[in-house]
Amino acid sequence: MNIVGHLINGEIRTDATTTQDVYNPASGEVTKQVALASQATVEEAIATAEAAYPAWRQTPPAKRAKIMFRFKQLLEDNAEKICQLIGEEHGKISHDAMGELTRGIENVEFACYGPEMLKGEHSKNVGPGIDSWNEMQPLGVVAGITPFNFPAMVPLWMYPLAIMCGNTFVLKPSERDPSSTLYIAQLLEEAGLPKGVLNVVNGDKVAVDTLLTDPRIKAVSFVGSTPIAEYVYSTASAHGKRCQALGGAKNHAIVMPDADMDNAVAALTGAAFGSSGERCMALSVAVCVGDAAADALVDKMTNAMQDLKVGAYTDASNDFGPLITEAHRNKVSGYIDSAEQQGATIVVDGRNPEVAGYPNGFYVGGTLIDNVKPGMTCYEEEIFGPVLLVLRVDSMEEAMQLINDHEYGNGTCIFTRDGEAARYFADNILVGMVGINIPLPVPVAYHSFGGWKRSLFGCLSAYGPDGVRFYTNRKTITQRWPSSGVRESVQFSFPSN
């Protein structure tokens, strides 16, 4: 059986004492295995990155940018193969996989602007004959730990920008769908990246803990669930590392009485069920202001969901695919069970859908649950599946209070025609990414991505301007060249201009 290995110093390594099965979630079949790195293997990858750092640090940013431009072209040229690999191991339908890859390529495009972002600032004559300037210097060896739900996009949030800034990188992708991530890393080397600048190690907690504790790793980027994000942040910080750890979410959409209901339903359908709900920006809660708005939403959503198609990635007419594992499929179904047991109304039931030709796939169909209340398990926890909850409240203030009281603060939106209400919402909601009639307010590559509260641990968001700040140290140099032959007096007071 094919074994997915590691990329260390430009070589694919499949040697491993431990492997893990990789499934095709559409069929439920094991298709390959992935090598799980030992501590020694991870340490070798770190040593390789450390050895490559001095030369890469001194490589002019313009030359780094040329490599990134070639990398972007190779990603576009090989998009079909990348999307196939994503589909085979994650289950995403081809159009969804292409959307993921496209957003990742946008981050590579942003990294291509490295020479502009790294040029620093200069001030002449801050004092008599004194000049001062800032430089953005790389940190050294940095690491990324990425999730299964975006095997192409999330790694591309991290290492292109980190490498563009002059760092070397060790990536630990998800062991559940590793092939597309590894293939993309090989494309970057094909684009001309020197061996050892980017290394990929597949693994489990052993690999993660090695990256978090090894003193040669200067910074760690993470995307995943909140419990693991908190662990990564606290462990990395305790070992003196810079860390940004993006966690989970419970994204609410407020549906106002004046909302364009047809457009709101179309937006919610895609945002709740796209990618099978396996994304941290999925809109999983609709908070309707007033029973009239709730009744209209539930009625229209029920009708819209009759046409939803769940199935295998090989059929592009499907709207979304299976969940990543059988265990996760059962967990999502368990949330639906708990909602029913705790008094909510299952309007559209996606448990145990029949998918022709794929009886053993890990499928859950689109599910709509009405009359959900705070305190219910399905509301308090992140489901990470194709499930939309409907809550009913009497006012916009009550809806906003629900959102502000929730432990997560990743993304949110409001559907309304009222500009005053939208402005008040944007100003006062305690969430990091806000949409106004936009269901998935994911920032473009030249802004930054990050939530609030327990959706983000660390003070800097991912990619964009915050990414540059995260992967560099600012150094300020102040210099003066005294005139020859001029004797200066001693000055004991603190200098000023």
Residues with active-site annotation: 280
DSSP secondary structure, 122-191, as one string? EEEEEETTEEEEEEEEE-SEEEEE--SS-TTHHHHHHHHHHHHTT-EEEEE--SSS-HHHHHHHHHHHHT
Alpha carbons 207 and 270: distance in angstroms, whole number? 35
Question: Do β-strands 217-223 and 283-289 pair in parallel, antiparallel, or remain unpaired?
Answer: unpaired
Q: 225: how many CB neighbours lie within 10 A of its CB?
A: 16
* Strand 387-393, strand 3-4: pairing: unpaired
- How far apart CA 112 and CA 69 sit, in angstroms, is 6
Listing from the earlier edge strand, what are the strands of the sheet with 217-223? 11-13, 6-8, 198-200, 168-172, 141-145, 217-223, 242-246, 456-457
For residue 143, the cross-strand partners are 170, 220
Query: Scanning the structure block, which residue is given the tokens 């006012």?
Result: 395
Residue with tokens 């978090």: 212
Note the helical H segments in 419-493: 419-428, 464-470
- Is the CB of residue 199 less than 8 Å from the CB of residue 7? yes
Identify which of 383, 380, 379, 382 has the alpha carbon closest to the alpha carbon of residue 366. Answer: 383
Spatial neighbors of 25 by CB under 8 A, at least 6 apart, are 89, 90, 91, 321, 322, 323, 324, 325, 361, 362
Is the separation of the CB atoms in 294 and 388 below 8 Å? no
Q: What angle do CA 349, 350, 356 make, to 5 degrees?
A: 130
CA dihedral 231, 236, 239, 241 (to 10 degrees): -160
Using CA atoms, how far residue 103 sits from 76, 107, 443, in Å, is 12, 7, 10
